[in-house]
Structure 1
């Protein structure tokens, strides 16, 4: 519930102010280039930081008969107004070392003046200034509520900048850029509010009126200007302005404006006649102006431009996520009181809702009465016989926003009959708490209802995995349901152009498996363990293959099926053929560089990423490979590559399981045989990596559970959470 409050606050603030924020952001980006255009001018002296006021004034006095004033701006440009020997008035930038003019005073271009006025007041004068100031404050609140949402997601301040998984483009970059832009945006908003308050006279004004006893002013002992202590001990970089005496009268004096105070100085003796410290409000006003505009710093101006550009992206991505959630709105044909099937959904960003909606629609088409609602809306269902729960997990194992009340509602809500239930969890292996909330729900449901199917978890919104669960569920319940994949998978942009550089013949392998080697234009964009997504029919249907990166190329191990959509597509290519695909980062299955040693477990279709990881094992980390195939003939396809790794010690040990040879060994048999080694691996923080078919995964995980029980180890879920068991099976 807390997350909902902050999310709705975040959204409400954005909706109420986005037009003003949009206009302010666009003009802000433009204005960020004004200080940059000033800074690149060659008007700053190379010796500026070391020159004293005494040197500058002395040089000016020697060069010009009369000096009006000297000003130093935020760019450290020295602007002097003088009267020349010819009697002409001249104003421009000088070199303080030799008093020579080096450029005319910079004037703000009409374009920047127009944009500045629009940025400050929208051409609405005081009314516009008020709304701009108000929107600065609202943007500050948006940044604060956004930060709170990230903290809720990450669960602690320490993890605020921890890595998050890219499951959705808009959500991922909204968070990543939000964290990177947070401090600049906070500074922009606070300074914007401060400057608005200053314009409306809400801040105290500073008084710099000097009280000078003119009767006490003396002309002795007279000193040369370069000997004035205050001028000798003051660097020009500390000065904002110097006003020179109008005449030689003793009542006229130097006014020296420093960064923190203003001094009145006797023009004859160098005595300080009056000294006024600037109040903090003056300091904050100048600081706010410089921080808000970027004056005096190219780097800060660029940061402001980037942060402001990010605000435009936040507007787009925030509304895109909101529209996506609303598009997935749940609709019902029947009232809950008459439905036998009830689908309960838990979703954070709306990505789980399409799966639930597709199942709901198919049940209706099959003539069943189905009701769909959020987990937070759990209540009494009078005619219900089956509960189907589809839920994601938020952040570090928490319930999603629309499921925060469910576990409490489950305790207090009574059903008129004992229901059968099934739980499907959606998550990503990249998170330590993979599908934790779904597992928590299943555990709670077991105390009240009858489990119809074991809890089923789905990685990265896999449509194939969802179809697998649906088939199991419909077979058991005897209801014909056909999942409409086109509603779940949108055809993405294929950004990677690939060329076939090597391909083995399917006919040469008894298992009809072939190796395909592809050259990618951007070799640095992928690593072994990432996924290659191909779209054979040029539609929504996606096929994923685990990537091995060998010598900069993509290597795939593909099992050919006569009617296989993906395998037929890939097998149809010859040397030199090109096609486009999508490479998906799969950080949860990259080689664990910090593990003391690694055990790789694969069958023929899962060996490719391991061959790539072994190829990259130049530091000779201890790696053991348990490899399951049918026959020794099957092994010939990989033999030269694997034996090469054994010879170079990139692979420490190979254990080959041949299921159709004399011993009829499966990988799980070898794991059970080496149970002490497997147990020691888990105890000593080693990592087990498993890649291949789902059938093999299920058998291997059952074996590992037996090993854990036998050796009194933690449950497998603990090792999965710790990243010691990594899975990539489809």
Structure 2
């Protein structure tokens, strides 16, 4: 519901809110410009003193006004000819034209009404309402994504487009809500829907009938400082019954021109005070710095609009179109999906179609929107979820466990959990297992024990479907064929071979960067923008399932590079090691922001063995800012598989690599990465105290040994690896 409330106003009103935001941002500059250009009143100057000075210059004075910026403007008649000017309050002399800025007037008319008068005002009010809905619903979605309001500024991951959208929203939501709400208030005031209109002062019971009382002797003017003054209207020349009208921040009064006596006074009503405050907050008139801040925030709107549209388009591509997705409140079956790359949605669609064919009503939704209150008729909840990294929630399941924990009691609908992953990884279906454990702890009744699908296996999925069908008392055939990802042809341009002497053929394969469309460059999609640590999906011949390799290069390098070791019986690795320069493979890119070096100058401790050197080498190659980097690299023998040996020496000479420690596992005295780490314990501990980030890449056994060594190094400092991981300072890419 919240997602739809955010999506459709954003898409339908994108142009309108963009016009509002950009024109508002441009208008925010003028209050500050006026404030800087205005000649300010001298300290302690009164309205009486100001009036005397201006009247001396312009005897036919009719009115003096002070703008919120402090600019003083006067209007007069001179021999029947009207005149006006901006006034220096210290001298009463003219210092500039009083004519309004034509650009400011044009922008104001555009911003308020699209040059369409009242009809345009209503249209722009609709735009402001859309912006308010977008801001409030966006805030709710940010809180959902980050795991709650308390984690508002939690570290984000995922594609750049989504992260940029949320990062801007986190900063801008308060300012945009303020601008939109104040705009709606001002529209209501314009159409007299609020009791904030100016009150007409009652005519005085009697006036003196005298004229020309000295301005400097009028107590009602002497007692008002210029900085609280707004307007002083002079009596009509020759009319003894006319009076001065004085307006200040406090209210409006009438002054006898013959005696200087205050004849009547009316304070601003609370409604008027509130409306004036809202006007100040919206326009920046009287709060120029705030106006500039809100103007800068408004500039985020077109960026969020563009990124939001891209996210929507990517979502439509990443999720299958679900035929007849039942409303949440009417569905018997609720399928909740946890997906990072989008493949799990395809399985969910297959399950939904099979259940519908069996006469069931089905609603499919992301796990992040989980709320049992939305599904009053649900008889069962079927969770299909992948795992991100080392057991974390995938993107569309963010916040699910927190929502489950906050429930006062378990949902009544029976639960079945199906995990998706790769059994070769140590955290195989770890998040699905955590969901199942949390549900059991909550007392949630299960329909089936948790099951798993290994590497998108259609057979595993079909087997689980048969078990689900038996539990439901209906035949359920799940025939799912994973969609083949859109791939590019990558042409091999060079290869460097290692490992033959130790019976572990390995190669550094460098491919030419494929041609990238202008749209991809603008949006950062595909091969337009990537960095070391992202993943290259290879589609081997004879298989629909991709194999993923960590990238050893970034888009700035101008090529695509990976490190591949041949595995006995390995379909993909065998084909890759057989490639010759000029030949090509089908491949696609997948972002892996959880294994990026990040920004900043804090040291990096890179730890890898074998092909795990790939992304670490790419990180070192990209270290143009000479960030301190300590690499601990394990190999079998330096004569056979010292991957990137010459490059590392060159990078060390260039200052891209600060220190290199090696561990050789073959020979008379086998030495492993964890041993090298312990030998360097003082240096490692010093770097950690300086805020170092630890990045580990390689096999799971190596990673476990490294983890044990690090625990020993961290213990004297009162730290643990879990503490570093929670702060994003210890990350792994383990296979």
What residue number does 2:182 align with?
A: 191
Q: How does 1:410-421 map to 2 (within 5 A)?
A: 413=414
From 58, 71, 77, the counterpart of 1:64: 58
**1:74-116 CA-partner distances (Å, limit 9, x unpaired):** 56554432122x4322245455545337335238789768746
Q: How does 1:554-569 map to 2 (within 5 A)?
A: 558-559=563-564
Using structure 1 for the length normalisation, give the TM-score: 0.65
- Paired residue secondary structure (2:182): helix
2: CA distance, partners of 1:705 / 1:609: 18
2: CA distance, partners of 1:318 / 1:657: 47
Question: Which is further off, 149-158 or 290-299?
Answer: 290-299
The alpha-carbon distance between structure 1 residues 314 and 123, as it changes in their structure 2 partners (threshold 3 A), is farther
From 689, 694, 699, the counterpart of 2:695: 689
The alpha-carbon distance between structure 1 residues 493 and 20, as it changes in their structure 2 partners (threshold 3 A), is farther
- Paired residue secondary structure (1:184): helix
The alpha-carbon distance between structure 1 residues 194 and 41, as it changes in their structure 2 partners (threshold 3 A), is closer
From 255, 276, 292, the counterpart of 1:299: 292
Shift of 1:67: 1.0
What residue number does 1:460 align with?
A: none
- Paired residue secondary structure (2:154): coil
Q: Which runs of 5+ in 1 are unaligned?
A: 1-7, 333-341, 365-369, 416-420, 457-465, 575-579
- Paired residue secondary structure (2:17): helix
What residue number does 2:328 align with?
A: none
Decide whether the 8 Å contact of 1:533 with 1:543 is kept in 2. yes
2: CA distance, partners of 1:725 / 1:472: 36
Considering only aligned residues, what root-mean-square deviation do their CA atoms show, in Å?
A: 6.6
Is it true that 1:423 corresponds to 2:419 in the alignment?
Answer: yes
From 521, 527, 531, the counterpart of 2:534: 531
The alpha-carbon distance between structure 1 residues 452 and 164, as it changes in their structure 2 partners (threshold 3 A), is closer
**1:623-675 CA-partner distances (Å, limit 9, x unpaired):** 4614134553322741673598599996567241334x55676657x589989
From 337, 340, 343, the counterpart of 1:346: 337
Q: How does 1:83-102 map to 2 (within 5 A)?
A: 83-84=77-78, 86-96=79-89, 97-100=91-94, 102=96
2: CA distance, partners of 1:403 / 1:563: 42
Q: Which runs of 5+ in 2 are unaligned?
A: 326-332, 388-392, 467-477, 522-527
Shift of 1:191: 1.6
What residue number does 1:262 align with?
A: 252
- Paired residue secondary structure (2:153): coil
The alpha-carbon distance between structure 1 residues 145 and 565, as it changes in their structure 2 partners (threshold 3 A), is farther
Using structure 2 for the length normalisation, give the TM-score: 0.65
1: CA distance, partners of 2:100 / 2:211: 39
1: CA distance, partners of 2:124 / 2:556: 56
Is it true that 1:625 corresponds to 2:621 in the alignment?
Answer: no
- Paired residue secondary structure (1:32): helix
The alpha-carbon distance between structure 1 residues 545 and 573, as it changes in their structure 2 partners (threshold 3 A), is farther
2: CA distance, partners of 1:647 / 1:64: 74
- Paired residue secondary structure (2:245): strand
Decide whether the 8 Å contact of 2:113 with 2:124 is kept in 1. no
Instruction: State how many pairs are aligned.
Output: 658
- Paired residue secondary structure (1:70): strand
Is it true that 1:441 corresponds to 2:436 in the alignment?
Answer: yes
**1:552-608 CA-partner distances (Å, limit 9, x unpaired):** 99895634779769968997389xxxxx99795735442797989946133245255
Decide whether the 8 Å contact of 1:615 with 1:650 is kept in 2. no
Q: How does 1:15-414 map to 2 (within 5 A)?
A: 15=8, 21-22=13-14, 24-25=16-17, 27-29=19-21, 31-32=23-24, 35=27, 45-50=37-42, 52=45, 53-54=47-48, 56-73=50-67, 76-84=70-78, 86-96=79-89, 97-100=91-94, 102-103=96-97, 105-106=99-100, 115=110, 118=113, 124=119, 129=122, 136-137=128-129, 139-167=131-159, 169=161, 171-198=162-189, 199-209=191-201, 212=204, 214=206, 223=214, 225=215, 236-247=226-237, 251-267=241-257, 272-293=262-283, 299=292, 302-303=295-296, 305-306=298-299, 309=302, 312-313=305-306, 316=309, 320=313, 323=316, 327-329=320-322, 346-347=337-338, 351-356=342-347, 390=386, 393=394, 398-399=400-401, 408=410, 413=414
What residue number does 1:601 align with?
A: 608
